[in-house]
């Protein structure tokens, strides 16, 4: 039985004001507490306890609450406060966000749209760090707070756990126009790249006013109109990034949201896998030479450990990326620098596997294209993936008992990081990553 206006819950703790609507699995109500504070309470659509599917829906509902609780410390993720049971009906008490759906704001300027996309992209990064996929990233599931330029990701009703690079069984719930091909099948590889598609489709919509052609239609031969054909004010850089995010083949999309933000020329927020002190280090826009950005302690921590060959590889990485006119140094630049260095162990191992600087450059340019940045080398910060590689190289060398960070440690760190553009380049060039890791680990034993 649906709740009605004025109905009290939990012995008067909450009072229902009105029904707001429904999402992936739940009906949502506006409620207030005894102090007049407003909340959203989501309940299950299927409240028939005799239904064969009720137990599954209930478990999914409780799982959503747990997932949100793990992620809702983030500014751009809706907060969940508690789960309640009223009679036979389960409810989730959540933050009430006064604002508009992103899709209701009309066609946005590129700069405004990218601000919102960066916020939601960083929120999704936290979601993915917790081993979850949202699976329903759409303008309808992004709210913009009133009187603020702050977007919030909502409705985790069809989110699921995932293991990278593993074929898993998921339900095929989806929103047409925003779902990639892997969401149309029960068993498929899913990963952060699945949500990249939804976020790219969202950017397409808010910049053009139209949804992109659905994945299923495109698989049947319908073309996807490039967004800059619908809005001439869209830059080539953003147009290219959107099309990459909407690739039908998941392996051709950026493999993480942060990699996609990088192609958009948007800096990321943080990386996972380290304690708070290391994350604090990684959150800095590390520049290779500028002491105004890098303090002495961080310089000592990283660069004092580098061998001459590693320093040369880093400098060549800068040079390679400057030639591509990109603002941020990514993992692919580190890979190019390691190859270009030529004399280090990393370069020799890569060459033994048939990797040349020429063919690596070709694949890098295909993926990230040519930018428009014309700043000096000293002004080129690192992407989150590249920052993570540097820290991992320090940890890798230490774990292997070395007092120095050599090129093989940098290459191993790049492989351990596992999600940057460099990994895509190596895959495209036919490198068996596990074999390469084994060779490098054996050498360092």
The residue behind tokens 């936290």 is: 126
- What kind of fold does domain 99-263 have according to CATH? Transferase(Phosphotransferase); domain 1 (1.10.510)
* Cβ–Cβ under 8 Å, residues 441 and 407: no
Segment 209-236 shows an average pLDDT of 96
Q: Round to whole Å and give the CA distance between 399 and 370.
A: 37
Res 273 pLDDT > 80: no
What band does 42 get if pLDDT is binned at 50, 70 and 90?
confident
Helix (H, G, I), strand (E, B) or coil at 59: helix
For CATH 3.30.200.20, the residue range(s) in the chain are 8-95
Q: Which of 78-87, 304-313, 380-389 has the lowest mean pLDDT?
A: 380-389
Q: Which position has the higher pLDDT, 278 or 55?
A: 55
What band does 173 get if pLDDT is binned at 50, 70 and 90?
low
Segment 64-69 shows an average pLDDT of 74
Q: Which of 35-39, 172-176, 182-186 has the lowest mean pLDDT?
A: 172-176
Res 426 pLDDT > 80: yes
Cα dihedral value 263, 267, 269, 273, nearest 10:
60
Contacts of 247 (CB under 8 A, 6+ apart): 253
Q: Which position has the higher pLDDT, 244 or 280?
A: 244
Q: Are strands 80-86 and 8-9 parallel, antiparallel or unpaired?
A: unpaired
Say if domain 278-443 classifies as CATH 3.40.50.300.
Answer: no
Q: What is the CATH number of domain 8-95?
A: 3.30.200.20
Q: Which position has the higher pLDDT, 171 or 95?
A: 95
How many other C-beta atoms are found inside a 10 Å radius of the C-beta of residue 7? 14
- Picking from 323, 313, 315, the residue whose alpha carbon sits closest to that of residue 373 is 323
The residue behind tokens 């990514």 is: 330
Name the token pair of 95.
């933050």
For CATH 1.10.510.10, the residue range(s) in the chain are 99-263
| HSE-up of residue 408 (Cα within 13 Å, Cβ side) | 19
Q: What is the pLDDT of residue 378?
A: 45
Strongest mean pLDDT among 38-47, 115-124, 184-193, 436-445? 115-124
Q: What is the pLDDT of residue 269?
A: 47
Helix (H, G, I), strand (E, B) or coil at 271: coil
What band does 338 get if pLDDT is binned at 50, 70 and 90?
very high
User: What's the whole-number average pLDDT of the chain?
Assistant: 81
Q: What is the pLDDT of residue 278?
A: 38
Q: Round to whole Å and give the CA distance between 305 and 403.
A: 7
Q: What is the pLDDT of residue 184?
A: 87
* Cβ–Cβ under 8 Å, residues 86 and 10: yes
For CATH 1.10.1780.10, the residue range(s) in the chain are 278-443
Task: Report if pTM > 0.75.
Answer: no
Q: What is the pLDDT of residue 374?
A: 63
């Amino acid at each position: 039985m649906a709740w009605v206006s004025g109905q009290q819950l939990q012995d008067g703790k909450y009072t229902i004001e009105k029904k707001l609507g429904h999402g992936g699995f739940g009906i949502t109500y506006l409620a207030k507490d005894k102090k007049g504070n407003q909340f959203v309470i989501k309940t299950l659509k299927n409240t028939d306890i005799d239904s064969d599917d009720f137990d599954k829906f209930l478990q999914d509902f409780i799982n959503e609450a747990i997932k949100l609780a793990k992620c809702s410390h983030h500014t751009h993720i809706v907060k969940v406060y508690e789960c309640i049971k009223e009679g036979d009906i389960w409810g989730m008490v959540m933050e009430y966000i006064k604002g508009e759906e992103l899709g209701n704001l009309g066609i946005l300027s590129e700069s405004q749209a990218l601000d919102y996309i960066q916020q939601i992209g960083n929120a999704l990064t936290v979601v993915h760090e917790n081993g979850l996929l949202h699976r329903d990233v759409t303008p309808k599931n992004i709210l913009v707070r009133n009187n603020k330029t702050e977007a919030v990701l909502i409705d985790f009703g069809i989110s699921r756990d995932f293991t990278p690079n593993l074929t898993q069984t998921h339900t095929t719930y989806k929103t047409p126009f925003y779902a990639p091909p892997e969401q149309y099948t029960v068993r498929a590889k899913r990963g952060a790249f699945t949500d990249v598609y939804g976020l790219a489709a969202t950017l397409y919509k808010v910049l053009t006013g139209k949804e992109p052609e659905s994945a299923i239609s495109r698989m049947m031969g319908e073309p996807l109109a490039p967004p800059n054909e619908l809005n001439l004010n869209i830059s080539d850089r953003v147009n290219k990034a959107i099309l990459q995010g909407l690739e039908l083949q998941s392996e051709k999309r950026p493999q993480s949201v942060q990699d996609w933000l990088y192609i958009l020329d948007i800096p990321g927020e943080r990386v996972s896998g380290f304690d708070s002190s290391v994350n604090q280090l990684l959150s800095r826009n590390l520049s290779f030479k500028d002491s105004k950005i890098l303090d002495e302690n961080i310089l000592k921590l990283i660069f004092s450990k580098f061998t001459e060959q590693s320093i040369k590889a880093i400098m060549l990485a800068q040079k390679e990326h400057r030639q591509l006119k990109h603002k941020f140094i990514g993992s692919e630049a580190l890979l190019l620098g390691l190859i270009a260095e030529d004399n280090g162990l990393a370069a020799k191992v890569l060459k033994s596997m048939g990797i040349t600087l020429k063919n690596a450059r070709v694949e890098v340019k295909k993926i990230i294209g040519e930018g428009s940045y014309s700043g000096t080398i000293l002004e080129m910060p690192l992407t989150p993936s590249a920052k993570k590689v540097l820290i991992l190289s320090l940890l890798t060398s230490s774990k292997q008992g070395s007092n120095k960070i050599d090129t093989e440690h940098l290459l191993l760190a790049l492989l351990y990081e596992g999600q940057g553009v460099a990994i895509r380049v190596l895959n495209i060039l036919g490198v068996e990553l596990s074999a390469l890791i084994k060779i490098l680990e054996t050498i360092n034993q």
